[in-house]
Amino acid sequence: MPSRTRCGVTTPLPASLYGPSTFADANRIFNWAEQSFYAVCCPHGRQLSRSERLPLRFFSQTNSYIAVKDNALMFLPVGGIVAPLGNVDQILPAAAAAGF
């Protein structure tokens, strides 16, 4: 079970925080990105997509999105160029190591 450490205290995180299993890895990465890259992923994103195909979050302060499509994590600035950030399988270990 994933856990998070804050202020030296490790707390297990229930699977319900990550949504359905089809979204679990994407949500773990989104949550990690919000903490690790606050300047870009702020304020905490609003989950927009409930479809089985495209987990997506919107960040109002930076007017941008992060999404996962075909196992690829992407950064989508409104009106800008889509930037691939890597494969979910490559990024997930960093999120897991950070407690997500």
**Cβ(84)–Cβ(76) below 8 Å:** no
Query: 26 CB contacts (<8 Å, ≥6 apart)?
Result: 55, 68, 73, 88
Determine the pLDDT at residue 42: 72
Residue ranges per structural domain of the chain: 14-97
Give this prediction's pTM.
0.70
**pLDDT tens digits, residue range 15-37?**
555 555 667 888 899 888 888 88
Q: Are 35 and 98 in contact (CB under 8 A)?
A: yes
| Lookup: tokens for 8 | 């030296």
Residue ranges in 19-80 assigned as alpha helix (H): 21-36
> What is the SS3 assignment for 12?
strand
Model confidence pLDDT, tens digit, residues 46-82: 666 555 568 888 888 888 889 998 899 999 888 889 9
Q: What are the respective helix, strand and coil percentages of the chain, to the nearest 5?
A: 30, 30, 40
Cis amide bond preceding 43, omega within 30 = yes
